[in-house]
Amino acid sequence: MMKRFALWLILVGLLYGLLEATSLAGLFVLSKFRHWDFDPVDVLRPMHAAAVERILEGDLHYTVADAELGWAIKPDGRSALYQANSAGMRRSSEITREAAPGKRRLAAYGDSFTHSDEVGNPDTWESQLEDRDSRLEVLNFGVGGYGVDQAFLRYQGMSPKFPAEMVLIGFMSENVYRHVNRYRPFYARETGIVMGKPRFLLRDGALVVLPNLLRDTGDYQQLLSAPESSFQRLGENDHFYRYRYHSGAWDWSPSVRLFRMLAYELSADTAHRRIIGEHGYVADSEALTVTEALLQAFVDRVQADGARPLVLVFPNHRDVVDFRDAGTRTYQLLLDDLDRRGIDYIDLMPAFAGAAIEKVFQRHYTAYGNALVADYLIPELRKRLGPAGVDTSATH
């Protein structure tokens, strides 16, 4: 009897060992070929801890932590590709408060597609607009990783110093995720921007700002020394902290990790799919309604300041592929809302018609992609600024 029991124990042990070994192999295969990793949202990843240490050491040369905005461009900051002037805008030269005589000043606010990531200063679409018409002065206040919320707050700080007659509000379809996020790695797990950010809530139809919670070195030191309590604080009103899976007592087991990861990744209700589904934006999601309210508030503020707002909608790689395959736009619901509100916008999808997609994109637009943006914008800006505003004879 004891011998039979012992054999059963050995068999069960072997089967369990096989299950765990198979699960471990499954985790490896999914990581290598699907880029799915077991990654609880409430665990400080080593790459994120290293990024926080660089913040504390002051080892940042272009994008730096900012108490109000979360992060911003360092005045006179430089990287291999990028250069900022003393005002912290992406520009190789200094400018005065007012546009020079004979110049028409436009100011662009937004994320990395406004900033023109992955190309040098001369190849941004803003610089290429200036190249096409010497009468245009196009200020680049874009910051990589921003949502419209941060861009709106950056505008409020910068516009009194550098007023413009037209404000270009850059929007890329993925921005909707960022408007329900307070700590960037909760939403973008592979990010190198390991910083907090403000976000807006809609309360009784009005936008209320929740301030950035990582404001100084003490907050970042606490993130390193006590990540669990820091994450609980940062996770309040964060969509991704709420809907992504958290660490558990049984996570030492490969089979448990595999099951939990697959249950999440294969679900129709992942944190991301609750916002952008198979057919585009999810109607009435908090992310979409906050985005719509943010754009309205931004437009209203620009108009109150005596300038003309213009929303620029930048399609990303997936958007262009989907449009070419199915004729649909991920962000169509947002365009419909802008139409209902009477907000002036330019959807840049037509700018890339007929262009080879590998020439348009790296992760962001290439220099060629930005040239297509500039070419498309010149006649559109001419309509809005008037014939004296844009010299289309310089277009190339």
- Residue range 229-256: average pLDDT? 93
Question: Mean pLDDT lowest for which of 30-44, 162-176, 322-336, 367-381?
Answer: 30-44
Residue 388: band (very low, low, confident or very high) from pLDDT cuts 50, 70, 90:
low
Residue 392: band (very low, low, confident or very high) from pLDDT cuts 50, 70, 90:
very low
Q: Answer yes or no: is 18 within a domain.
A: no
pLDDT tens for residues 63-78?
999 999 999 999 999 9
Whether the Cβ atoms of residue 147 and residue 175 lie closer than 8 Å to each other: yes
- Would you give the DSSP letter of residue 330? T
Q: Answer yes or no: is 155 within a domain.
A: yes
Q: Under DSSP, is residue 275 helix (H, G, I), strand (E, B) or coil?
A: coil
Q: How many CA atoms lie within 13 A of 285 on its CB side?
A: 22
- Residue range 361-382: average pLDDT? 97
Q: Which domain holds residue 140?
A: 75-93+101-179+275-389
For residue 353, give both structure tokens: 């018609």
Q: Which pLDDT score, from 0 to 100, does residue 288 have? A: 98
Whether the Cβ atoms of residue 170 and residue 137 lie closer than 8 Å to each other: no
Q: Which pLDDT score, from 0 to 100, does residue 387 have? A: 63
Residue 32: band (very low, low, confident or very high) from pLDDT cuts 50, 70, 90:
confident
Q: Give the domain CATH number at 356.
A: 3.40.50.1110
Q: Answer yes or no: is 255 within a domain.
A: no
Alpha-carbon distance values, 210 to 68, 104, 178, 198, 216 (Å): 10, 35, 13, 6, 16
CA distance 317 to 363: 7
Q: Which pLDDT score, from 0 to 100, does residue 396 have? A: 33
Q: Under DSSP, is residue 352 helix (H, G, I), strand (E, B) or coil?
A: helix
Checking if the pLDDT of 391 tops 70, the result is no
Q: Work out the mean pLDDT of the chain and round it to a whole number.
A: 93
Report how many domains make up the chain: 1
- Residue range 41-59: average pLDDT? 95
Q: Answer yes or no: is 216 within a domain.
A: no
Q: Answer yes or no: is 54 within a domain.
A: no
Checking if the pLDDT of 390 tops 70, the result is no
pLDDT tens for residues 87-97?
999 999 999 99
Checking if the pLDDT of 163 tops 90, the result is yes
- Of residues 269 and 76, more confidently modeled: 76
What are the two backbone dihedrals, phi and then psi, of residue 136, each rounded to the nearest 5 degrees?
-90, 140
- Residue range 224-246: average pLDDT? 96
Whether the Cβ atoms of residue 39 and residue 191 lie closer than 8 Å to each other: no
Checking if the pLDDT of 395 tops 50, the result is no
| Cβ-based neighbours of 112, under 8 Å, separated by 6 or more | 142, 143, 144, 145, 146, 172, 364
Residue 28: band (very low, low, confident or very high) from pLDDT cuts 50, 70, 90:
confident
What are the two backbone dihedrals, phi and then psi, of residue 43, each rounded to the nearest 5 degrees?
-115, 130
Among candidates 212, 109, 213, 100, which has minimal Cα distance to 158?
109
Question: Mean pLDDT lowest for which of 5-9, 53-57, 205-209?
Answer: 5-9
- Of residues 387 and 190, more confidently modeled: 190
Q: Answer yes or no: is 280 within a domain.
A: yes
pLDDT tens for residues 179-212?
999 999 999 999 999 999 999 999 998 999 999 9
What are the two backbone dihedrals, phi and then psi, of residue 110, each rounded to the nearest 5 degrees?
165, -155
- Of residues 13 and 390, more confidently modeled: 13
In the chain, the DSSP E strands lie at 63-66, 70-73, 104-109, 136-140, 166-172, 199-203, 206-210, 276-277, 280-281, 308-314, 345-347
